[in-house]
Amino acid sequence: MNKLWIDERYCKGCLICVDVCPTKAIKASKEINDWGYILPTEHDMNSCKACGLCELMCPDFAIAIEEVNG
Amino acid sequence: MSKEMKAHNTNKRLHNVHLLKAGEYYLQGSQACIEGAIMAGCRVYGGYPITPASEIMEYASRRLPQVGGRFIQMEDEIASASLLIGASWGGAKALTATSSPGFSLMQEAISIAIMSETPMVIIDVQRPGPGQGYITASQEDVMQARWGHHGEGSIIALAPSSVQEMFDMTIEAFNLSEQWRTPVLVMAEEPVAHMRERLLIPPWNEIEIIERKKPQDLGIMPEDYLPWGHDIVAPMANWGEGYSVNFVGLVHLEDGNITKYSPQMHYDCIERLLRKIEGNVNEIARIETEFLEGCKNLVICYGCVARTALEAVIEARQEGGLDVGYVRLTTLWPFPHEKLRDIVGNVNTIFVPEMNLGMMKHPITEALRDRSEKIVSIPSLGVLHSPEYILSKIYEEIR
Amino acid sequence: MKKHPMLKYLKEEGPLGQRMPLIMCPGCGAGQVLNYTLHAVERVMNEDKIGKENFLFISGVGCSARLTSHYLNFDSAWTIHGRTLAIATGSLLANPAFKIIVFTGDGDTGSIGGNHFIHACRRNIDVTIVCINNGVYGMTGGQVAPTTPVGAITTTTPYGNIEEAFDLCKLAETAGASFVARWTTAHPHQVIKSITKGLRKKGTAFIEILSQCPVHSKSSPVAMLRELKENTIQISKKKESGEGKTLIGEFCDLDKPEWNESYQKLIDQFDHEEGKS
């Protein structure tokens, strides 16, 4: 199951990654962080195909998908 | 640097078959300054036509490809001055020439060159103003040279008086700009740009050429390099050398960081820019003097007015029996307050002939107010003072 | 912690402190354009075997310009408003081997930089102009720009904009650019492909990217990206539908003499063997 990494120093909670994910593997979290941002979080990582669209469309270089075999 | 980058790099000063060899030549001031520039290693010129500086550009368009350089006529003066910045960051020595209205347009570029500490040379063949003014002789930009760019920071400005000095001082301008990492202005006037005189070119190995300090030569690695640090004049890495150098125009820390703002960081950044030039004025500025020993009156002048003023001083001493001394400011800025005070004793009257209504008179007064009873301007607008005119003004005052 | 794959091209920190996060507002299109550009640069570096020190990023002033303010792990410069192309021309005169990417905005290109823009295209100098068009002067507070549509309410058109907008791509093409394309931030793969083509093109490549400014539009980035996709139509599909939609695609791709190529011929007519001093 692939893993989602969010760099909380850089993410500004624009949630573009959540919107473009073709398999709805990630979602907006229910918490607001100290900066006032709602960060993305894992939803159903079994459906993540590591297509890379979230990384591609991130304006802040704050997201990475780690491909994990098995 | 990659092989492809090295092959195209025009920064290399070629001892080129097309540079003028040692000897005597008869050239126009406009041509002499280009010969000086290419001798100093200038290989990029970008300009825009304007009377009375267009001849400089025309000559540059012919000479630059001959010596392996690149010339371009840009769409306006703002583009020309901006081009110099890009060329300098890319590693080349770059030149432009303009006149007073174009000089006004270049001020923003000069400002960013001061902030980013970019070597470049601008020749201003001054013409009267304000506005379109006229197309003849003037020295009306001498204050704009120092104060025309917005913001703090200082600049170097030289004032040639002959075709020989158009050659020599353009080389000096490039050397100063490389040594102090600053834009340098050559404040010429229409007479000195258009006159034709004998030019003596020395052998190449007698001409000193200064290149900018490089971090590679000082053993500084890219990860430790501070683009505005290490010394009061920082070593300058250029683009294409593997230093990932980022040039900015905002107040910055020594490593180029622009977000860690504080009033102290702001002060440190700007104060060093001023101190770099003004604090080294005794090394940078030059003054020429004649007949100073025991003189009772003084003429202080610069540029091509110095030629006719010297004639007037000689005449006043020989025919008029007056004890008049002569001081020529070869460097206008940074203004050599201390040097002037060191060489000028107490005198009765100081005359300042200028092709404006009294501009350099102000720093001269600041420096020497307590040394003289009277400081008198001898203005002339649009036309070079004749020796007779200066002499008549001197006689009017003190005979 | 796995890091974003493009972070290796950014300076997260310098000798005197932290430089990131990017200063852009949340969801700003400029950050996305930087992401796409770095992908294109990586492609050219790896496939064409061109070293990192050959690349140069220059920007003017504005939100688009902050991309080079101090974040890039490349040679770069953050310069004066609108004069970027003159500065780029200068660096090409110093060394024609540079591969230059100019980050600019709609105001920086179409307004104060207009003169330099048309002449750069006319000369066909070897630059890749990445124009981030958000239809407004973002950094200074949302004033009207030469690309703002008629009727828009901005801080300097409180009663609605009465001026027509520029079509920057048409301007570039008419002025003489070799390669002209328009996409949006919602078309990442097309943007990367066009920028890659632009970098490989010898001549002026102008790539306009319609971008969202969520702050001044008072909208969400996600909604704006959807709008950008819906309100644009690719050239190939224009015949079927396309009323009132902005045309996107590659408008021209020509092979023309590039400025330095032509100038080199002038230099080569003189013998440059090293003389003795």
B92, closest residue in chain C (CA to CA): C94
- Interface test mutation site (partner A, options C9, C32, C36, C67, max chain A beta carbons within 10 A): C32
CA B317 – CA B139 distance, rounded (Å): 27
Q: Domains in chain A, ordered, with CATH?
A: 3-66 (3.30.70.20)
CA-based nearest residue to B356, from B144, B108, B101: B144
d(CA B138, CA B134): 9
Q: What's the rounded Cα separation, in Å, for the pair B185 and B106?
A: 12
Please give, one letter per residue, the 3-state secondary structure of C210-251.
ECCCHHHHCCCHHHHHHHHHHCEEEHHHCCCCCCCCEEEEEE
Of C15, C115, C270, nearest to B75 by CB-CB distance is C115
Token representation of residue B354: 């200028």
Whole-number pLDDT of residue B384: 96
Q: Is residue B373 part of a domain?
A: yes
Provide the residue range defining the domain that includes B13.
3-206
Bond before B336 cis per omega within 30 degrees:
no
Q: Which residues of chain B, if any, have pLDDT below 50?
A: 9-14
* Helix (H) or strand (E) segment spanning residue B306: helix B305-318
Beta-carbon separation of A5 and C2 below 8 A: yes
Whether residue B251 lies inside any domain: the answer is no
β-pair type (B331-333, B156-158): antiparallel
Closest CB to A16: pick one of C7, C24, C225: C225
* Record: contact C225-A63, CB cut-off 8 A: no
Mutate to test the interface with C, among B246, B253, B254, B265 (most CBs of C within 10 A): B246
Please tell me if residue A35 touches chain C, with a CB cutoff of 8 Å: no
Residue linked to tokens 């695609």: C249
Task: Look at residue B299 and give its three-state secondary structure.
Answer: strand
Global pTM?
Answer: 0.94
First-residue to last-residue Cα distance in chain A: 6
Burial B7-26 (b: 16+ CB within 10 A, else e): ebbbbebbebeebbeeeebe
Find the residue in C nearest to B110 (Cα).
C80
The closest alpha carbon to C175, from C196, C203, C202, belongs to C203
B160, part of any domain: yes
- Per-residue model confidence as pLDDT tens digits over C205-262: 999 999 999 999 889 999 999 999 999 999 888 776 667 889 999 999 999 999 999 9
Query: By CA distance, what is B79's nearest residue in C?
Result: C86
Question: A and C: touch, per 3+ CB pairs < 8 A?
Answer: yes
**Chain C contact set for B80 (CB, 8 A):** 86
Pairing assessment for the beta strands C246-253 and C179-184 based on DSSP bridges = antiparallel
- The answer for B 78-137 residues in CB contact with C (under 8 A) is 78-80, 82-92, 94, 108-109, 112
The predicted structure's pLDDT at residue A70: 58
In-domain check, residue B219 = no
CB contact under 8 A, B83 and C93: yes
In a domain, C265, yes or no: no
Question: Looking at beta carbons, which residues of chain B come within 8 Å of C94?
Answer: 9-11, 43-44, 86-92, 94
**How close is the nearest chain B Cα to the Cα of C107, in Å?**
17
Residue B189's pLDDT is what?
97
Clarify whether residues B196 and B308 are in a common domain.
no
Q: Is residue C135 part of a domain?
A: yes
Q: Is the dihedral of CA B301, B304, B308, B310 positive or negative?
A: positive
- How many domains, in total, are found in chain B? 2
Yes or no, beta carbons of A14 and C10 under 8 Å apart: no
Q: How far apart are CA B6 and CA C76, in angstroms?
A: 19
Mean pLDDT confidence for A14-42: 95
Beta bridge partners of C9: none
- Could you tell me how many residues make up chain B? 399
The pLDDT tens digits of the residues spanning C49-96 come to: 999 999 999 999 999 999 998 899 999 999 999 999 999 999 999 999
Cα–Cα distance measured from residue B331 to residue B303, given in angstroms and rounded to the nearest whole number: 10
| Cα distances (angstroms) measured from residue B357 to each of B354, B361, B376 | 7, 9, 11
Give CA angle at C181 (C177, C184), nearest 5°.
Answer: 145
Distance from CA of A1 to the nearest CA of C (A): 15
Spatial distance between the Cα atoms of B233 and B210, rounded to a whole number of angstroms: 14
Residue B230 lies in a domain: no
Interface contact A5-C3, CB threshold 8 A? yes
Pair (B147, B12) in one structural domain: yes
d(C-alpha B101, C-alpha B311), whole Å: 31
Question: Has residue C210 been placed in a domain?
Answer: yes
Q: How far is C5 from chain A (nearest CA, A)?
A: 7
Nearest CA in chain B to C113: B79
Residue C240 belongs to domain spanning: 29-257
Shared domain check, B315 and B198: no
> What pLDDT, on a 0 to 100 scale, did the predictor assign at position B6?
56
Query: What CATH number does residue B128 fall under?
Result: 3.40.50.970
C34 in a structural domain: yes
Residues B170 and B308 in one domain: no
Q: How many CA atoms lie within 13 A of A22 on its CB side?
A: 6
Q: CA-based diameter of chain A, in Å?
A: 36
Looking at CA atoms only, how far is residue C27 from chain B in angstroms? 20
What is the pLDDT at residue C242?
66
Rounded to a whole number of angstroms, the distance from the CA of C88 to the nearest CA of chain B is: 6
Which residues of chain B are within 8 Å of residue C277 when distances are taken between CB atoms? 15, 203-205
Give ipTM to 2 decimals: 0.96
Residues B326 and B195 in one domain: no
Cβ-defined contact of A61 to C35 (cutoff 8 Å): yes
User: Considering CB atoms only, which of C6, C26, C28 is closest to A61?
Assistant: C6
Q: Contact at 8 Å (CB) between B327 and B287?
A: yes
C-facing residues of B in 193-222 (CB < 8 A) are: 203-205
CATH number for the domain spanning B351: value is 3.40.50.920
Selecting from B8, B84, B246 the residue whose C-beta is nearest the C-beta of C68 gives: B246
Q: Does residue C186 fall inside a structural domain?
A: yes
Residues of chain B found within 8 Å of residue C274, distances taken between Cβ atoms: 14-17
Reported as a single tens digit per residue, the pLDDT across C196-205 is 999 999 999 9
Does residue B101 lie within any of the structural domains?
A: yes
pLDDT over threshold 60, residue C276: no
Domain end among B187, B206, B225: B206
As a whole number, the mean pLDDT across chain C is: 93
Chain A hits for C222, CB-CB cut-off 8 Å, are 14-16, 19
* Inter-chain CB proximity C89 and B46 less than 8 Å: yes
B89 within a domain of the structure (yes/no): yes
pLDDT at C275 over 60: no
CATH of the domain at C194: 3.40.50.970
Residues contacting residue C21 through CB under 8 Å, at least 6 positions apart = A9, A10, A12, A60, A62
* Residue at a domain's end among B173, B206, B239: B206
**Residue showing tokens 């570096």:** C45
Do residues B186 and B298 both lie within one domain?
no
Strand order in the sheet with C232-234: B246-248, C75-78, C55-59, C99-105, C127-133, C205-210, C179-184, C246-253, C232-234
| A63-66 and A3-6 strand pairing | antiparallel
Residue C270 counted as domain residue: no
Query: What are C177-193's pLDDT values in tens digits?
Result: 999 999 999 999 999 99
* Cβ–Cβ pairs < 8 A, chains A and C: 80
* Residues of chain A neighbouring C22 (CB-CB closer than 8 A): 10, 59-61
pLDDT tens-digit readout, C96-153: 999 999 999 999 999 999 999 999 999 999 999 999 999 999 989 999 999 999 999 9
Whether B130 is covered by a domain: the verdict is: yes
Interface of B with C in 11-40 (CB under 8 A): 11, 14-19
For residue B3, the tally of other CB atoms under 10 A from its CB is 9
Q: Which of B172, B206, B240 is the last residue of a domain?
A: B206
Q: How distant, in Å, are the alpha carbons of C36, C61, C113, C193, C203 from that of C82?
A: 23, 7, 4, 26, 20
C-chain CB neighbours of B78 within 8 Å are 83, 86
Q: Which residues in chain C are contacts of A55 at CB distance < 8 A?
A: 4-5
Total domains in chain C come to 1
The answer to whether A55 faces chain C, any CB pair under 8 Å, is yes
Among all residues of chain A, which has the CA nearest to that of C21?
A10
CB C170 within 8 A of CB C147: no
Mutation target for C interface from B14, B67, B70: give the one with most C CBs within 10 A: B70
